[in-house]
Amino acid sequence: MEFGFTLGAWAFMSLVALLIIYLIRPRPKDVTIPSLMFIIKESGKSIKSSFLEKLLKNLIFLLQAIALAALALAIMQPIINIAYDSASANTVIILDASASMAAHDSQRFDDAVDIAKSSMKGDVSIVLAQEFPVLLLDNKNKGEASSILSRIEPKDVGTNLGDAMLLAKDLLQGEEGRVIVLSDFAYTSGPDPNVVKKILEADGAVVDLVDIGEPGDNAGIIDLVITRYETDVFIKNYNDNDKELTISVVNRDNEIKKVSMSMDPHSITSFSFETPSGETEVRINEKDDLMPDNSAYITAPDMADINVLLITNDINKYLRNAMEASRDISLKIAEPPIIPDFGEFDVIILGSLDHGKLLTGTLDNLEDFVKRGRSVVVTAKPDSHETDYGNIIPVSISDRAEQISTKIYPYSQSSASLYGFVDDESIDFGTTNQYFIARAENNSVVYAMTADNNPVIVSSGRGEGSIVYYGILDRMATFKSSPSYPVFWNDLINSLAGTEDINSFNYPTGKLIALGAETQVRTPDESIRTDRILLDGAGFYTYNDKTISANLLSEAESDINRETTFDTTGKHEFQLQEVERRKDVNLEIYLIIIALIAMLLELFLVKYRGDL
């Protein structure tokens, strides 16, 4: 024992003073008292036992001595060094609840839960390590923790162990405790768990990395490439031996394709099929030790042609070829003055027009066409700066810049910042030797512009429809020869026609979709009412008359034979052991409490004796 203030030992002199007070007795005086008065006073009272009186006096003396001694010792600030289990006060369980933990009929996950239940000490917190950490319990007792652990199941999602461990750091708030990570360590995202372990240990926490994994047999679907017309499926054999597989493609309960394949060890094989509309399941028929990656799900909307009318007196063969190359577009070409009724078309493109051949009211009809929810694209022609397009063009053109080679930039790469922009960095617009000096109207969207900030691709709203200015003169520009050219026109026409991207129907698991308001949702497991959907299970989700799909598709998560690159403890070797540390404990507060208790007992005895 050490003392922080040794001069406080002089306070023990108070015990000497107390002893002196008790040793000094007052001298007795002779007083004449009428015996009759004495008898009357004592009448009806019980005579106290002399033994009890002495006992009470001795107890009071003892309590006073204890109080003085405790206070004197407290003044000396005594400190003792004791051993303790630094991991006993708080336990944070990090439980991997990802798809790979469902291996061997979820035996991995069951083993992790059993270890978690037998490893809890003190206040218990539970964090699920999935695509993002989920806090299930915060500093509760073992009973509540055990009840929650019994209800958890692994989900068809990836693993983010690092962020889950960082959440454990926040839960401990700098206090000592134990963090137990129960996982197969097939993590797919987030910080390196071994790095985060060192951060936790630097904060004083005890970290146990318990590897639940055991080798298994698995071949799984690791990727899908889905387009409106074709789907590619990629399958990997994770075994050290050859694998024979049969895969069925089932659309609306009908098998539309069946594939047999022989796969080499650790190889990846793919096959393709035409993307059907509706709900489709791709299924590996052979069972193995990890079933969540044996199925993949695809949703595609019903396909309908987009009717496009190209009005021109001088056909742009590059534009025509791009339109005809698209399987989404049904193109019709009209040469003024003969123009069909606009009602049957979704999008109208104005090409190189001879405005003198346009019938009166044609531009007004186009404006009405847009206001009713359709779209018009105005393409530049050599005399666009001298042409009156009325109210169906989102720019004002003042002049033409000639014989100047300039690059056309996606707006995000240019120096101007006047307008909004929908970025598509995959498109290279190339260069042009001729363009127009133009100014985009307010509230328009600029998609591309020249180096001197002249907009060349602009869109704007009109009523319920849209108008687009395509200011690239194809004959004078390199864009027409780019592979991006037909892609651009296909995407533009699909966007204007309101065709939904097939990728908006197919998502990876782990994604959270906000619905804006409470909606009835049918998930792969149940029907719920919610304002957001967590895609934590592979399969189909239906809401608001729309069906989407969610898929695991993770090469790392499906690798149930993956070996960790850092030290872990196997589930059979793991034993919960005390972590002995030593710390200094100041006894000052405890001694003050003892002194207060002694004084309170003294008051009680004095009151009992009748002196108060």
pLDDT of residue 415: 39
The whole-number pLDDT of residue 197 equals 94
Task: Return the CATH number at 474.
Answer: 3.40.50.880
Mean pLDDT over 43-59 rounds to 54
Closest CA to 95 of 49, 30, 146: 146
Q: What are phi and psi of 328, to 5 degrees?
A: -90, -15
Instruction: Indicate whether 600 belongs to any domain.
Output: yes
446 in the same domain as 357: yes
On whether both 346 and 365 belong to a single domain, the answer is: yes
Q: What is the mean pLDDT of residues 520-546?
A: 94
Instruction: Please tell me whether residues 14 and 129 are part of one structural domain.
Output: no
Domain contains 211:
yes
A 10 A CB-CB count for 83 gives 10
Q: Which residues fall within 8 angstroms of residue 230, CB to CB, at 6 or more apart? A: 272, 273, 274, 275
Rounded average pLDDT over 411-440: 65
Mark which of 467, 496, 525 sits at the end of a domain.
Answer: 496
Among the candidates 496, 520, 551, a domain finishes at: 496
**Phi and psi angles of residue 609, each rounded to the nearest 5 degrees, phi first:** -75, -20
Q: Which residues pair with 180 in a beta bridge?
A: 93, 208
Per-residue pLDDT of 333-387, as tens digits, reads: 999 999 999 999 999 999 998 888 888 888 899 999 999 999 999 999 999 988 8
Distances in Å between the alpha carbon of 34 and those of 31, 38, 39, 136, 407? Answer: 10, 7, 9, 84, 130
Which residue in 411, 453, 407 sits closest to 430, CA to CA? 407
- Which value, to the nearest 10 degrees, does the dihedral of the CA atoms of residues 357, 359, 361, 366 take? -70
Per-residue model confidence (pLDDT) at position 420? 33
**Cα(45)–Cα(567) distance, rounded to whole angstroms?**
82
Give the end of a domain, one of 469, 496, 523: 496
Highest mean pLDDT among 441-455, 514-528, 594-608: 514-528
Q: Would residue 533 count as lying in a domain?
A: no
Report the pLDDT averaged over residues 299-304: 87
Are 363 and 442 in a shared domain? Answer: yes
Give the CA distances from residue 39 to residues 35, 380, 537, in Å, rounded to whole numbers and listed in that order: 6, 131, 95
Token pair of 128 as six digits: 């699920």
Contact 491, 457 (CB under 8 A): no
Residues 405 and 472 in one domain: yes
Nearest to 373 by CA among 412, 342, 333: 342
78 and 178 together in one domain: no
pLDDT grade for 329, boundaries at 50, 70 and 90: very high
**Is residue 447 located within the same domain as residue 567?**
no
Q: What is the pLDDT of residue 289?
A: 95
DSSP state for residue 411 in the 8-state scheme? G
Q: Each residue of 172-192: b (16+ CB within 10 Å) or e?
A: beeebbbbbbbbbbbbbbbbe
Amino acid at 423: D
Q: For tokens 């979704």, what's the residue?
A: 346
- What angle, 0 to 180 degrees and rounded to 10, lies between the N-to-C axes of helices 50-75 and 13-23? 160
DSSP state of 558: T
Supply the mean pLDDT for the chain.
87
For residue 53, the model assigns a pLDDT of 56
Domain with residue 212: its CATH number is 3.40.50.410
The verdict on 344 and 425 lying in the same domain is yes
Strand ranges in 488-602 using DSSP code E only, listed in sequence order: 506-508, 512-522, 527-534, 539-543, 546-551, 569-570, 580-586
Region 227-241: mean pLDDT is: 94
- Asked if residue 551 belongs to a domain, the reply is no
Q: Percent of the chain having pLDDT more than 70?
A: 89
Mapped onto helix, strand or coil, the DSSP state of residue 75 is helix
Phi-psi sector, 389: left (phi>0), alpha (psi -120 to 50), beta: alpha
Let me know whether 72 and 103 are in one domain.
Answer: no
Within 478-558, residue ranges assigned H as helices are 484-496
Same domain, 164 and 194: yes
Contact 92, 177 (CB under 8 A): yes
CA angle 185, 189, 194 (to 5 degrees): 50
Query: Using one digit for the tens of pLDDT, what is the confidence trace for 483-504?
Result: 989 989 998 998 898 888 888 8
Number of domains forming the structure of the chain: 4
Boundaries of domain holding 595: 2-25+48-82+588-609
E strand segments, 52-205: 78-85, 90-96, 123-129, 134-140, 178-183
DSSP state of 509: T
Q: What is the pLDDT of residues 563-599, one digit of tens each?
A: 888 899 999 899 887 766 666 778 888 888 988 988 8
Residue 453 lies in a domain: yes
CA separation for the pair 581, 87 (Å, rounded): 10
Q: Tokens representing 143?
A: 């009973």
Residues 194 and 57 in one domain: no
pLDDT band of residue 164 (cuts 50, 70, 90) is very high
- Do 543 and 533 contact (CB within 8 A), yes or no? yes
Rounded to an integer, the average pLDDT of 313-326 is 93
CA distance 599 to 608: 14
pLDDT at 421 over 50: no
Mean pLDDT across 167-172: 93
Does 459 map to a domain? yes
Domain assignment present for 221: no
Are 319 and 460 contained in the same domain?
yes
Position 143 in a domain: yes
